Amino acid sequence: MRFLLLSLLILSTSAFGGTRVTPNVGTNSAILNSSNSAYLSGNVLWKQGDTATSYIERLGRHTPVGVTPSRGVPTGRIVSAAKDLIRLSPTSVVASVGLMAIVEGAGWAIDELTGQISVREQSPVFDNNYIYWYIQANGQRGEGATPMLACQAWADKSAFGDQWEAISYTLSSYNHGTCLVSYTQLSSGNSGTTSKNLARTGSGCPSGTSYSDDQYGCIGTIDRPVLDSDISKLSITGDASFYDGLMRDACDLSASPSRCFDSLVEQRRLSGPATVEGPKTTTTSTQTNADGSTSTVEKETRTQYDIEYGDDHYVYTPKTTTETKVDGQTTETTTEQEDTSEDSEQKPEEEMVSEISGLNCEASIACSGDAIQCAIASTQKDTKCILQDALDFPTQQSEITSIFQGDEFALDEEEIEIPSFINQGTRFLPSTCPAPIALALSGKTLQLDTQPFCTFANDLSFLIVAFSALGAALYVGRAFGGE
């Protein structure tokens, strides 16, 4: 069936002369491990990936197409992957909500520290201090918690050179019975049946156990390691959300998540718009009419791509519509289905790279490939070159100097008497000396005269102002290029 569908797809592609495009939509791991919702179709879980932008490369134009990939995974494969993880890495179970639900639903117990999984079940408990069964015959004694186990123990110990094949028993009372063993002699191949007397002895059952009227022995709850046969018998079912979470957990916790996701995929789909609008061009010309007047002729050419989708590709067929207007009135509309059979397959999108040269400011830029990347490269070059010219002070020093030439930039020379300058502009607080400070000590008043401090400060004031003025002059001078 798949071969037939593929053949029909190839025939339809050839008939329409379309161009095949295989977009880069990401890996199976990225699609199946996404947070997008999933749904069930029969026994197949379908999961959509994120929509990717593909491009129709034609006539130097890049027409975007939003395509969405989907992957179909049989639920049986998800269940097998989950069971394999339980077998091979039981410690990983505690890290998965789905796997923990499976283990707990089966009535199993898991040690969260060691990851050891055990099966909890009802089983006969043997203790010869309590009730048990035995057979004493042919120099051998077989003991067991139940009549059947006592028969098996005696048959295993008997050394006639025989191999037992079947065991059964009958009880004549609550503590007596007969054990029947079918056997085959290994030396001769002869077969037969032997019967031995069964007897029950002891009383009571060990703590935590109870006597079973069905098995005629003491039965208790025990934990045993989970077996491969136990895992194989697990029945795992759920809705789409359950299978989705179980699939991601089973693969993410495996030794090779990518390989795990790849092994689960059985079907692929690609979906997107049925049509997309391509490039549109408009040309304007002037025509001379028969009466000598002129008219404006406008031709608008629009391209539309019809798209059909396959499992991992799509095929597009261009359709061009040309509308002719004379003085704003439509006079003709033509539609042409183009044949692109010569371009039967567009090169893979991962190989579409832009080639750029001439990024130095002295050279002219040349770019081929993706138009968006070329525009970004051109803008970045212009910005770099403008900034480079603006910061090149040495080559522009003469131009900068010429800007500050002329009478408006001439400095007026004037002599200033330093003492008068200092007296006029240095004080912003009162120049009088504070009154003496009174201090109360042990009931007495001590006055501290501030005049000596004022005199000392007044003597130093000229030096402080002079050094400050000198420092300010040096700072301003260096700002204008002085040494």
Looking at the domain assignment, is residue 86 inside a domain? no
- Please, how many CA atoms are within 13 Å of residue 83, restricted to the half-sphere of its CB? 18
Is the pLDDT higher at 328 or at 133?
133
Distance in angstroms (rounded) separating the CA atoms of residues 455 and 464: 15
- Check residue 72 and give its pLDDT: 96
| Closest residue by Cα to residue 141 from 154, 156, 151, 160 | 154
Distance in angstroms (rounded) separating the CA atoms of residues 291 and 192: 125
Task: Please state, in angstroms and as integers, the Cα–Cα distance from residue 434 to each residue in 229, 424, 452, 458, following that order.
Answer: 105, 22, 11, 13
Mean pLDDT of 437-463: 74
If pLDDT is split at 50, 70 and 90, which confidence band does 315 have? Answer: very high
- Please, how many CA atoms are within 13 Å of residue 287, restricted to the half-sphere of its CB? 13
- Check residue 307 and give its pLDDT: 94
If pLDDT is split at 50, 70 and 90, which confidence band does 166 have? Answer: confident
If pLDDT is split at 50, 70 and 90, which confidence band does 159 have? Answer: low
218 lies in the same domain as 147: yes
Report the range of poorest mean pLDDT among 262-271, 297-306, 329-338, 339-348: 339-348
438 lies in the same domain as 361: no
455 lies in the same domain as 382: no
Looking at the domain assignment, is residue 7 inside a domain? no
Looking at the domain assignment, is residue 134 inside a domain? yes
Distance in angstroms (rounded) separating the CA atoms of residues 154 and 197: 11
- Report the share of the chain in percent with pLDDT over 90: 35
Q: Is 105 exposed, middle or buried (0-12, 13-18, 19+ CB in 10 A)?
A: exposed
| Closest residue by Cα to residue 123 from 138, 143, 141, 144 | 144
Residue 360, token pair as written in the block: 């130095």
374 lies in the same domain as 457: no
If pLDDT is split at 50, 70 and 90, which confidence band does 410 have? Answer: low
Q: How many helices (H) and strands (E) does the chain have?
A: 12, 23
Q: Over the stretch 214-254, which tens digit does the pLDDT of each residue have?
A: 999 999 988 888 888 989 988 899 999 999 999 999 999 88
Burial letters for 465-481: b for 16+ Cβ neighbours within 10 Å, e otherwise?
A: beeeeeeeeeeeeeeee
Inform me whether the pLDDT recorded for 88 exceeds 50: yes
Residue whose tokens read 């997309």: 276
If pLDDT is split at 50, 70 and 90, which confidence band does 16 have? Answer: very low
- Check residue 69 and give its pLDDT: 95
Distance in angstroms (rounded) separating the CA atoms of residues 176 and 134: 10
If pLDDT is split at 50, 70 and 90, which confidence band does 419 have? Answer: low
Looking at the domain assignment, is residue 182 inside a domain? yes
Report the SS3 class of residue 64: strand
Contact 226/118 with Cβ under 8 angstroms?
Answer: yes
Is the pLDDT higher at 165 or at 123?
123
Distance in angstroms (rounded) separating the CA atoms of residues 128 and 205: 10
Inform me whether the pLDDT recorded for 82 exceeds 60: yes
Is the pLDDT higher at 186 or at 220?
220
384 lies in the same domain as 444: no
- Check residue 480 and give its pLDDT: 60
Inform me whether the pLDDT recorded for 29 exceeds 50: yes
Distance in angstroms (rounded) separating the CA atoms of residues 144 and 285: 108
Contact 25/31 with Cβ under 8 angstroms?
Answer: yes
Residue whose tokens read 């395509």: 67
Contact 314/270 with Cβ under 8 angstroms?
Answer: yes
If pLDDT is split at 50, 70 and 90, which confidence band does 12 have? Answer: very low
Q: What are phi and psi of 78, to 5 degrees?
A: -65, -45
371 lies in the same domain as 460: no
Residue whose tokens read 């693969």: 251
Give 297's strand partners. 285, 326
Report the SS3 class of residue 330: strand
Structural domain harbouring 182? 123-225
Pairing state between β 44-48 and 61-74:
antiparallel
Mean pLDDT of 372-392: 75
Contact 65/53 with Cβ under 8 angstroms?
Answer: yes
| Closest residue by Cα to residue 343 from 59, 119, 52 | 59
Distance in angstroms (rounded) separating the CA atoms of residues 334 and 245: 54
Is the pLDDT higher at 456 or at 199?
199
Give 72's strand partners. 46, 267
Distance in angstroms (rounded) separating the CA atoms of residues 329 and 326: 5
Looking at the domain assignment, is residue 173 inside a domain? yes
The tally of domains found in the chain comes to 3
* Degrees to nearest 5, angle at CA 28 with 26 and 33: 95
- Check residue 15 and give its pLDDT: 39
Residue 280, token pair as written in the block: 């549109």
Contact 194/138 with Cβ under 8 angstroms?
Answer: no
Q: What is the mean pLDDT of the chain?
A: 81
DSSP H helices, 17-146, are 28-32, 75-88, 97-105
Looking at the domain assignment, is residue 248 inside a domain? no
Residue 41, token pair as written in the block: 């179709």
Looking at the domain assignment, is residue 57 inside a domain? no
- Check residue 1 and give its pLDDT: 37
Distance in angstroms (rounded) separating the CA atoms of residues 193 and 182: 4
Instruction: Enter the pTM of the model.
Output: 0.53
If pLDDT is split at 50, 70 and 90, which confidence band does 7 have? Answer: very low
Looking at the domain assignment, is residue 465 inside a domain? yes
Distance in angstroms (rounded) separating the CA atoms of residues 359 and 480: 37
Residue 351, token pair as written in the block: 């190989």
If pLDDT is split at 50, 70 and 90, which confidence band does 342 have? Answer: very low
- Check residue 75 and give its pLDDT: 95
Inform me whether the pLDDT recorded for 345 exceeds 70: no
| Closest residue by Cα to residue 351 from 52, 70, 31, 55 | 55
- Check residue 209 and give its pLDDT: 93
